[in-house]
């Protein structure tokens, strides 16, 4: 067993274990983890400075997850956009392959929190169906591996997936969405990077949400990937009480560039059930973008996007670039459809 696998096996999954490190009310939190499982790597938990700080809020269960927030379980309508199990086809030329339902650390704000940890880490039958679907659809040129976290798979299994995708002539590029550099940096080994290097053009998007997450270990993990010629992007989720401060967000974007990670997206919080307390207003997101534009390098200024309900696609938002009717925004997607989006911060 590799070092990263041993570290993963030692992850904290029980509230009684967590209580040995930080003061929590096990009785209050038990119903939360029964509905939404908890898993935190010891590395990531060690980044917590105090309860309710930005790292704590991302990984420690919160009773507010069980409040009725009137948000849907599947806000992006992924189930309806799943022609075969484990594959989401939302845009004409790209698909999302869900190759894992497990992550090193379960983020409490996750879009797929209702399904994480509920199935095996990999389903070969589902992947075979997804592969055949891609083979039949020649318009698909871009395949994104997601989950869960693809890097939770062994090098051998991941290489099998990449090799089979590379044999499909119309697949031009492969992207991997992962948070392991942030939550389990020891997973990024030289062996993994040498293997990935064989499947260019290949891109990795990771997920730093706060300056605290940029450590010597996570920086080294990103350096290994970059040295293998893999372009790195970052998708930050705007989270209340975590990173909704314009100055901190500017520092995060600048620091990412120093570890060779290009800021790609700042996501408005998805409208997913159990996460309402993380929501900020769109106005706050626009304040952050205004603090970035012209005040720092264009390379440090990502797109601020809203992923529209119903699977209508991502829409980039700029100051003075939207229409409002009270607390409802009217946003136009890539198909020219005008979609209503409810604005407002969570409690």
Percent of the chain with pLDDT over 70: 96
- Per-residue DSSP letter, 321: -
Catalytic-residue membership of 103: yes
Contacts from 251-256 at CB under 8 Å and sequence distance 24+?
251/211, 252/208, 252/209, 252/210, 252/211, 252/214, 253/292, 253/296, 253/300, 253/301, 253/302, 254/296, 254/297, 254/300, 255/211, 255/214, 256/208, 256/214, 256/300
Catalytic-residue membership of 110: yes
Q: How many CB atoms lie within 10 A of CB 203?
A: 17
pLDDT (0 to 100) of residue 343: 85
Going by C-alpha positions, the residue among 162, 124, 129, 158 that lies closest to residue 143 is: 162
Residue 185 structure tokens: 């940096």
Look up the pTM and report it.
Answer: 0.93
- Which of 160-164, 258-262, 309-313 has the weakest average pLDDT? 309-313
Query: What confidence tier does 338 reach under pLDDT thresholds 50, 70, 90?
Result: confident
Going by C-alpha positions, the residue among 7, 75, 69 that lies closest to residue 40 is: 7
Catalytic-residue membership of 91: yes
Helical H runs in 167-227?
180-183, 190-196, 216-227
pLDDT tens digits, 69-119: 888 999 999 999 999 999 999 999 999 999 998 999 999 999 998 877 554
Q: Which helix (H) or strand (E) holds 35?
A: helix 26-35
Catalytic-residue membership of 307: yes
Q: How does the average pLDDT of the chain come out, rounded?
A: 93
Q: One of 62, 74, 244, 307 is an active-site residue; which one?
A: 307
Q: How far apart are CA 179 and CA 234, in angstroms?
A: 10
Q: One of 57, 90, 240, 273 is an active-site residue; which one?
A: 90
Going by C-alpha positions, the residue among 163, 258, 147, 145 that lies closest to residue 203 is: 145
Q: One of 36, 69, 74, 110 is an active-site residue; which one?
A: 110
Catalytic-residue membership of 94: yes
Give me the CATH topology for the region 69-321: TIM Barrel (3.20.20)
Catalytic-residue membership of 42: no
Contact 121, 170 (CB under 8 A): no
Q: One of 270, 279, 312, 343 is an active-site residue; which one?
A: 270
Residue 282 structure tokens: 């769109």
Contact 254, 248 (CB under 8 A): no
pLDDT (0 to 100) of residue 119: 45
Whose tokens are 């399904």? That residue is 115
pLDDT at 122 over 60: no
Going by C-alpha positions, the residue among 234, 304, 281 that lies closest to residue 262 is: 234
Give the domain ranges of the chain: 69-321
pLDDT (0 to 100) of residue 326: 84
pLDDT (0 to 100) of residue 210: 98
Query: What confidence tier does 124 reach under pLDDT thresholds 50, 70, 90?
Result: low
Going by C-alpha positions, the residue among 111, 99, 123, 101 that lies closest to residue 39 is: 101
Going by C-alpha positions, the residue among 144, 233, 150, 185 that lies closest to residue 44 is: 185
Catalytic-residue membership of 90: yes
């Amino acid at each position: 067993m590799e070092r990263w696998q041993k570290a993963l096996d030692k992850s904290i999954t029980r509230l009684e274990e967590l209580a040995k490190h930080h003061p929590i009310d096990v009785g209050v939190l038990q119903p939360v983890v029964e509905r939404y499982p908890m898993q935190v790597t010891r590395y990531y938990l060690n980044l917590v400075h105090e309860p309710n700080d930005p790292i704590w809020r991302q990984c420690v269960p919160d009773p507010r997850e069980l409040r009725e927030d009137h948000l849907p379980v599947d806000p992006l309508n992924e189930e309806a956009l799943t022609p075969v199990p484990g594959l989401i086809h939302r845009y004409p030329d790209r698909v999302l392959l869900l190759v894992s339902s497990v992550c090193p650390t379960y983020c409490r704000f996750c879009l797929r929190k209702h399904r994480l940890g509920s199935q095996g880490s990999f389903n070969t039958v589902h992947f075979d169906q997804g592969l055949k679907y891609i083979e039949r659809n020649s318009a698909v040129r871009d395949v994104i591996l997601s989950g869960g976290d693809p890097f939770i798979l062994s090098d051998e299994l991941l290489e099998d997936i990449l090799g089979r995708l590379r044999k499909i002539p119309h697949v031009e590029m492969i992207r991997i969405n992962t948070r392991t550099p942030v939550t389990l940096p020891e997973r990024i080994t030289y062996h993994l990077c040498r293997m990935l290097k064989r499947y260019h053009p290949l891109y990795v998007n990771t997920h730093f949400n706060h300056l605290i997450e940029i450590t010597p270990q996570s920086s080294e993990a990103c350096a290994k990937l970059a040295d293998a010629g893999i372009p790195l992007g970052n998708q930050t989720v705007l989270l209340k009480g975590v990173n909704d401060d314009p100055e901190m967000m500017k520092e995060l974007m600048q620091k990412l560039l120093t570890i060779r990670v290009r800021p790609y997206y700042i996501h408005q919080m998805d409208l997913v059930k159990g996460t309402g307390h993380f929501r900020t207003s769109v106005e706050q997101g626009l304040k952050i973008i205004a603090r970035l534009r012209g005040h720092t390098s264009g390379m440090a200024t990502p797109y601020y996007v809203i992923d529209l309900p119903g699977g209508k696609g991502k829409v980039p938002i700029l100051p003075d670039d939207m229409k409002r009717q009270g607390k409802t925004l009217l946003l136009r997607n890539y198909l020219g459809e005008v979609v209503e989006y409810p604005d407002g911060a969570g409690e």
